[in-house]
Structure 1
């Protein structure tokens, strides 16, 4: 058997997904910060790690994190709905195995 790597289709295919990931991350971060109590210190509103070290904020931080992650996951699901499973992104090489 030998492998043949086909030419890349298009340029920058791997970079096309990066804005989507950045947007999801920004929305999750914003959702987390807004779900934290208004009395929480700014550092705890920006960082889950900082919030869970404070026993009085740990439960609220976990709840805010869960809410943010579920929201981001649902949004990602909606955005990816209709894409074929296993479809290669443009720009990724495909390997064909021949006999």
Structure 2
């Protein structure tokens, strides 16, 4: 199933790990949605890595995510894309669910 999130970037961190006699970078961060945080890892060979690494903590984003099961049968969320969220977009979505619109 595909989902869309509006949230804020939390705790972005770049880690370096060793992979087959080489080192790679991983961007680890969470997206705060309401009271829940969904965490994501983006490897340095991902086409969006350079864009995502420039999103600071507290930056509001719209994210396109998919889900699936990991090897232990737990639900895992996968980040497909993420873009800055304009204020007017968040407001228009909020109005869709307001009691005045119903």
For Structure 1 versus Structure 2, the TM-score category normalised by the shorter chain is under 0.3
Bigger share in strand: 2
- Of structures 1 and 2, the larger Rg is shown by 1
Bigger share in helix: 1
Larger RCO: 1 or 2 (CA < 8 Å, sep 6+) = 1
